[in-house]
Amino acid sequence: MKKFFALLLALTMVLSLAGCGSASHESTDPQGGDDAAQSFTVGVCQLVQHPALDAATQGFVDALTAELGDAVTIDVQNASGEPTNCSTIVNGFVSADVDLIMANATPALTAAASATADIPVLGTSITAYDAALELDNFNGVVGGNISGTSDLADLKEQAAMILEWFPEAKTVGLLFCSAEANSRYQVDVVTAELTAAGVACVEFAFTDSNDVSSVTQRACDSCDVLYIPTDNTAASNIESINNVALAAGKAAIVGEAGLLGGCGVATLSISYYDLGVTTGKMAARILKGEADVSTMPIEYAPVTRMYSPAACEALNITPVEGYEAAE
């Protein structure tokens, strides 16, 4: 009888240990396979509300939801154009221990990079990661916990577009926000290309929305044509820019489709929605354990040559062949 009870006790202990082992596997399975249903929380920090960034965020949300369904909760927060708000938002995400942060625009990315070295961070609507993060010898992979997508179109081609549309232009005014590193990068490249072609370039930098109109007026007074890069402050104040430029009869070649219309006549641009979709698919691969953010190269969206029929009509400009009419 004693042997029977001893055997029964031993069998009970074995079954108990087996049960504990099974429960431990279910709670720690990193892939969330058949043994466990995983859930994820993703924080999105968007610098400011305007069509390009809105489209990128929507594309990200749609793609990530399509990949993960109810398993993902996405917290979208807007910094209302204030970089300091980006820091507050991403620090909140870090405190909440989210599984991934999507940073929409350069100030959001730099805030996320400063806030965490552990949580995966994906940028989108970033023109140049090396300029934004002050990287040396950038080879297309940021490394660490950061990757993402870029909205950079070929700047040499954009400079060539200015000459293609306005071959008689002698002076180009480069209109941008001095606080945005990506804008500075674009302006420097375009200036170098135009200067080499014998065209004079003059920078007109505003510091924030308060001086957009006055700076635009100075640019229109002294230049034949404007160039506006992908610039969040310009995009948020495009109505003010258009009001001044149209009254002065000045046209602009612009860095993205959201700036078309008004004075913006043509662009070599991308779909920001598609850029967001690409970023969302990258996020899904990271969360499902299919990719390591530290080795993921920056991805890009296809570019399209577009023109604005409304701007061409308003400024009495004949569209150049080979460009697609913007809707």
Instruction: Let me know how long the chain is.
Output: 327
The end-to-end CA distance of the chain, in Å, is 89
Considering the domain architecture, whether residues 199 and 264 belong to the same structural domain is answered as yes
Residue 245 burial by Cβ neighbours in a 10 Å radius (0-12, 13-18, 19+): buried
Q: In this structure, is residue 7 part of a structural domain?
A: no
Question: Which helix H or strand E contains 98, and what residues bound it?
Answer: none
Considering the domain architecture, whether residues 84 and 208 belong to the same structural domain is answered as no
Look at the chain and report how many structural domains it folds into: 2
- What is the pLDDT at residue 93? 98
Considering the domain architecture, whether residues 310 and 201 belong to the same structural domain is answered as yes
Considering the domain architecture, whether residues 191 and 317 belong to the same structural domain is answered as yes
Residue 67 sits in a domain whose CATH number is 3.40.50.2300
Considering the domain architecture, whether residues 112 and 213 belong to the same structural domain is answered as no
Considering the domain architecture, whether residues 179 and 92 belong to the same structural domain is answered as no
- What is the pLDDT at residue 319? 96
Q: 241: closest CA among 178, 188, 177, 289?
A: 177
What's this model's pTM, rounded to 2 decimal places?
0.75
Round to whole Å and give the CA distance between 186 and 89. 28
- What is the pLDDT at residue 36? 52
Considering the domain architecture, whether residues 192 and 313 belong to the same structural domain is answered as yes
- What is the pLDDT at residue 40? 98
Q: Give SS3 for 271.
A: coil
Spatial strand order in the sheet of 40-46? 72-78, 40-46, 100-104, 121-126, 146-150, 299-300
- What is the pLDDT at residue 208? 87
Q: Can you list the residues of the chain whose pLDDT is less than 50?
A: 1-35
Considering the domain architecture, whether residues 121 and 190 belong to the same structural domain is answered as no
- What is the pLDDT at residue 305? 94
Contact 311, 265 (CB under 8 A): yes
Domain containing 169: what range?
Answer: 155-269+305-325
Q: 51: closest CA among 238, 295, 226, 179?
A: 238
Q: 245: closest CA among 281, 212, 276?
A: 212
- What is the pLDDT at residue 286? 98
Question: Which helix H or strand E contains 139, and what residues bound it?
Answer: none
Q: In this structure, is residue 16 part of a structural domain?
A: no
Considering the domain architecture, whether residues 168 and 242 belong to the same structural domain is answered as yes
Q: pLDDT tens for residues 141-171? A: 999 999 999 998 889 999 999 999 999 999 9
Contact 152, 127 (CB under 8 A): yes
Considering the domain architecture, whether residues 168 and 146 belong to the same structural domain is answered as no
Q: What share of the chain is helix, strand, coil (3-state, %, to 5)?
A: 50, 20, 30
Contact 225, 190 (CB under 8 A): no
